[in-house]
């Protein structure tokens, strides 16, 4: 039986290595660095899954405009250059993805990156973002932001309709299925209990790396149930308490490798991933206007 995502996160946190949660600081790079962005063409796809165990029912039609998405997860090098700090538990090098960042941390990073790039900031608020009741996400701005859940799944699928973007389905039933998973994703079966450098596995058909595995990824949306109606550029519920994460990670719990975490449509089953939490299995990537 699948465990509560909240329990999964809390239990994993208890297993952290000594020193996790540290925040190293240092001088910013003299010249700003920016993520490599891949253009994602506008299109229509079937979002969700017919399998209730994937927690993504019902399948519904979504149409999206064009956008650009970072080719990889935000790395420790990039986060350090923009925010002058590195909160990662696995402080392993500049090519490793940054983790232990809350949704608010990721949003602040997006605003800071937008300013460095001369773009409009997407997130506006008064006071402290973490406690602000006036937080607004303006999707008309051209700055960097977190992807919507629909944008994330569309980019992850990269035109595929199979459970996994490498053309196979859940559950993996053969050694070839497992080999394909190992070739495309950093997950419990091939990870030495930590993240791995970005872009060490195969990209999807649209040139995006680690869309499944390595780290769960923050999305902009509040967590909420789907409905069957067709949608254009959906941004999720208007309010809520938890934010969506997608994609699976390097970790597991209970001695079981959760292969379903890596499905393109898989959603967490617990609405308790609050935007102020920080875990070593959650990171993020960014999107912006093309």
**Residue 43: strand, helix, or coil:** strand
pLDDT at position 11 is 46
CA distances from 269 to 53, 101, 143, 187 (A): 9, 21, 31, 19
Q: Tell me what the mean pLDDT of segment 223-237 comes to.
A: 96
Q: In Å, how far from its chain's centre is CA 169? A: 21
Residue 50 CB coordination number (10 Å): 11
What's the farthest any 2 CA atoms get from each other in the chain? Answer: 54
Between 1 and 56, the more confident residue is 56
Q: For residue range 81-118, list pLDDT tens digits in order.
A: 999 999 999 977 889 999 999 999 999 999 999 999 99
pLDDT at position 268 is 80
pLDDT at 28 over 50: no
pLDDT at position 63 is 98
What is the model's pTM? 0.92
| CATH class given for the domain over 5-288 | alpha beta
Q: For residues 53 and 190, is the Cβ–Cβ distance under 8 A?
A: no
Q: For residue range 243-263, list pLDDT tens digits in order.
A: 999 999 998 654 455 899 999
Domain ranges of the chain: 5-288
Q: Supply 168's token pair.
A: 């196979």
Q: Tell me what the mean pLDDT of segment 202-207 comes to.
A: 98
């Amino acid at each position: 039986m699948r465990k509560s995502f909240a329990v999964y996160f809390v239990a994993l946190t208890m297993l952290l290595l000594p020193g996790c949660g540290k925040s190293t600081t240092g001088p910013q790079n003299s010249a700003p660095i920016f993520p490599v962005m891949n253009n994602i063409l506008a299109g229509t796809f079937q979002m969700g899954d017919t399998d209730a165990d994937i927690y993504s029912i019902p399948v519904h039609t979504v149409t999206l405009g064009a956008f650009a998405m970072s080719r990889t997860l935000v790395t420790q090098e990039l986060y350090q250059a923009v925010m002058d700090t590195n909160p990662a538990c696995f402080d392993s090098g500049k090519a490793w993805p940054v983790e232990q960042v809350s949704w608010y941390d990721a949003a602040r990073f997006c605003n800071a990156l937008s300013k460095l790039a001369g773009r409009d900031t997407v997130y506006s608020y008064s006071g402290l973002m973490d406690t602000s009741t006036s937080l607004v996400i303006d999707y008309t701005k051209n700055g960097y932001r977190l992807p919507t859940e629909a944008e994330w799944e569309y980019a992850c699928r990269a035109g595929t309709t199979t459970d996994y973007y490498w053309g196979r389905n859940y559950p993996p039933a053969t050694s070839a299925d497992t080999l394909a998973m190992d070739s495309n994703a950093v997950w419990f079966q091939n990870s030495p209990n930590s993240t791995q450098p970005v872009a060490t596995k195969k990209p999807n058909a649209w040139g995006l790396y680690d869309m499944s595995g390595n780290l769960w990824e923050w999305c902009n949306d509040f967590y909420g149930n789907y409905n069957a109606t067709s949608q254009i550029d959906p941004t999720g519920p208007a309010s809520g308490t938890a934010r969506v994460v997608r994609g699976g990670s390097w970790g597991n719990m209970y001695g079981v490798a959760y292969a379903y975490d890596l499905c393109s449509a898989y959603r967490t089953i617990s609405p308790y991933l609050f935007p102020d939490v920080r875990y070593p299995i959650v990171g993020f990537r960014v999107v912006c206007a093309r």
